[in-house]
Every structure is written in structure tokens, then in C-alpha cells.
Amino acid sequence: MFQSIKTYKLLFLRLILIVAGIEVSIFFFKKELLFTGIFGLFIVFLLLREMYFYVRNFVLIYSKTIASILQNDFSSDFSKHKFNKNYNDLFHLYDILKNKQKEQVSRDIIYRSILNNIETGIIILQKQDNDWNIFLMNDYFSTHFNVPKVSKWKYLKNQLPSLCEILEEDNFQEIKTSVEIRVNEQNMQTFVLQASRTEIFEQDYFIVLLDSIQNVVEKKEKEAWVNLMKVISHELLNSITPIRSICQNLQDLVEQDSMSAEDLEDVKNSVETMLRRSDHLQKFVEGYRKLAMLPTPKKEKVELQYLIDNCLQIMNPLFRDNAVKVVNAITLKRFINIDAQQIEQVLINLLTNCIYALKDTFDKQIYISAEAKENRIFIKIIDNGNGIEKEIENKIFLPFFTTRQEGAGIGLTLSKNIIEAHGGYIAHKTEDHKTVFEICFIED
């Protein structure tokens, strides 16, 4: 604003000088000073010429700068004009917008690079008038479905009619379903289709994600195998390494001509250690076999209250030895269709975990409740122990994961498998600083 006022002052000063020059020239002509009057007019001509080029240059620079901003073209270089303070505000605005454009371009490049490296087919549609145009198609989508990066919906429809027809049938609304698409003239493949619609700055966008079910399953299977192999290799090395070391030591002892009492004691200790490690390996293998060979549930109608009472009776000696108070608040009179032996094993596993969680608690309590809701039976087992640490919350159902020295790490995994085999689920959460395990069955 200050620079604009200064510019207007300079223009006004030039006009005053020109008007004054004309008045002086006229005065000299009236005094019949012809040559002086002509010289005055020459000076006026030079002032007019200088003012013309000043205004012309001023207008040209402004016009060029404004045109660059409007056309989003920031390739012009105005550095040679920056010495002129009259353009400070304009050039400052130009530089701000230029830097913002650079940031935006950088973000676009990064975002597109991220989308192009995701192994999920992604297309983003943009609505213009009543038609949809393709705003973005990532490399995976283009390569996997052998579709060129077209810009019009009708071209994509010619390439992938099965996909486009589903989207059109739902009128480009949010959808989550499976779709079969023929890829590269091969057999039909099943994909998970997720689509969502959003509006940004009055622009309508439709985002489509396609995941191959085969890829998802293979990825999950691979992760599961990797985790399982880590556990198995860890357990095997933990047993084989000390056994090998002991065998080497025993070999050295038996190669001696005579064996002292101290050497004999070493042999006994070594054999005991190998037996302990062998027992540990045997338990590990048995645990794995339990998980891998879980029998199909033999379901029958069992009264819920009878099932809980029976489990509490089995666990009662442990409750007494550990000074644990158990509150059975189940009053629900329902029969559930289950394999009683397997579900008893689940409840015993959960109650055993509760006892372990309560070992450092003064007032040890376990609370058991049940409710029926929306054709489902929910059983809750709550303890007031230390709770599950956040660092291990996502690991407690993993095979062979345990925080107990004597634990095998299969109790919760086996429990989860049993409940899921019954068509239900088991979950855990924290309520009022208490650990809650919830079992859900669907009522038949």
C-alpha cells in the first residue's frame, strides 16, 4: 500500500513538471523569446517521453506478473526489476505463490509416488458436469489390469466393464463387496472392492480400491508362517544349543582313562539338564499339535449355569490356595449348544490367567457374569489384577507367546481357536482399571 502511494506521488510529480514546462514555454513565446520557448517545449517533450516509458514499463510488469499468477505460471524471472522498490509488494506476492506452488507440486509427486508403490489397485474419479473423469489411476491398477491410463470413464468402461457396471448400478455410492474380474485374458480373479465418495472444495470425488483376495490371503499366510518359524527356531535353538554343549562336555569326560567323583557328578547333572530340555521340547511339540489338530466340536445342549459351576468347582482348590475371591453373578437360565469339554478348557485357561494376573494384588477378586443380547450370549470374566500391558496387547493370542516362566504360550491361542470353531469370538479390554475377557456365542 505504501509503495502504491509512492508510485502515485511520482506520477503526480511528473505531471506537475510537464504542466509547469508547458506554462513556462508559453510564457517565453508571449515574451517573443522564440528559441527559449522551443527549448522549453523540447524539455516538455522529453518529460512526456520519460513519463510514457515509465508508465508503460510499470503497466507491463504489473500485467505480466498478474498474468503469470492467474495462469499459474511461475517460470518468469523478475530479479532484474527487484531493485525498484515500487514493485516490492507485487514481487513479494509472486514469490509467496511461487513457493506455495513448489510445495504443492512436491506433495503431489510424493503422494503419487506413494500411491504408485501400493500393491492395491486405486482409481480416483472426479465429477465434471454429469460425467465422471479419471482424476488418478495408480501404476498397480494400470499394470495389473492391463489398462492404459485413460482420462475418460467411457474408455475405462470399455476395458473393465464388469467393474464399471457394478459402480454404475450403485450410482457411484459407498460400497464394499467382492467382484470377479478377468485379468489379462486369464481366468476370473476375485477382488475386494471398496469405494467411497467425498466432496472437496465443491468438487465431487469417487475413490475405488481393489485388493486381490489371493494376494491378501497369501500375505497373511506368509506372515503367519514367518512368525511360526521364528517361534519354532527360537525354541529349538534354546534346547539344541545347550544339549550340544553338554554332549561335547560328556564326550570329553568319557574319553578320559579314569573318572573322578566330581566328573561323575558332572555327568549326572548333564544328563538331568538334557532330560529337562527334552521334556521342554516334548511339551512344545505337544502344544503345537494341540493347536494344529484341534478336533471338530461335538456340540450338545448344556445349561450355562451348570457349565460355570462345574468349572469353578474344578478350580476351587487353586482359588483357595491363592486367596482369590470369586463372584459368580450369572443368573441367566439358558442352554447353549457347545462342546462342553472344549469350553471348559477355555474357561479354565482364562481363570488360570486371572489367578496369575492377581499374584501381586492384595484384595484378589474374579467376577463372572453373563447376558443375552441380540441372539447372542456374552460371558465376561473380570479380574482386578495389574491388567495387560499395552506393549503386549496385540500379542496375547499369538501361538507360544507368554510372559510366564512356566507357561507354554498356547492357552489363549487354543481358547481363541476353540471359540472360533464354535462360531463365536473371544476378546479382551480394560474397564475401570480391570481386565475383562469376553466370550460371545451365537444362540442356535
Tens digits of residue pLDDT in 19-53: 887 877 777 777 777 777 788 788 878 878 877 77
Each residue's pLDDT tens digit, 241-263: 666 666 766 666 666 666 667 76
DSSP 349: H
Looking at residue 42, its pLDDT comes to 83
Mean pLDDT of 381-395: 74
Place of cell 531493485: 83
The residue that leads in pLDDT, 293 or 261, is 261
Pick the CATH number of 119-212 from 3.40.50.720, 3.40.50.2300, 3.30.450.20, 3.30.1330.40: 3.30.450.20
The stretch 335-362 carries a mean pLDDT of 85
pLDDT tens-digit profile of 115-126? 888 878 888 888
- Name the grid cell of 194: 471398496
Can you give the pLDDT at residue 54?
73
Mean pLDDT of 392-407: 62
- Indicate whether 178 pLDDT > 60: yes
Give the list of residues 6+ apart from residue 342 with CB closer than 8 angstroms, or none.
297, 418, 421, 422
Confidence of residue 189 (pLDDT cuts 50, 70, 90): confident
pLDDT of 3: 47
Confidence of residue 202 (pLDDT cuts 50, 70, 90): confident
Cell of 317: 482348590
* Residue 281: per-residue pLDDT: 64
Which element (helix H / strand E) includes 242? helix 213-254
Measured in degrees and rounded to the nearest 5, phi and psi for residue 375 equal 60, 25
Taking the C-alpha atoms of residue 48 and residue 44, their distance in angstroms, rounded to an integer, is: 6
Comparing 8 with 384, the larger pLDDT belongs to: 384
What pTM did the predictor assign?
A: 0.42
The Cα-based distances of 380 to 319, 326, 388, 433 in angstroms read 18, 13, 16, 15
Average pLDDT, the chain: 76
- Percentage of the chain lying above the pLDDT 90 cut: 1
- Is the pLDDT at 1 greater than 50? The verdict is no
Q: Does 2 score more than 60 pLDDT?
A: no
Flag the least confident range among 224-238, 259-273, 380-394: 224-238
CATH 1.10.287.130 fits 300-442, yes or no: no
CA atoms within 13 A on the CB side of 252: 8
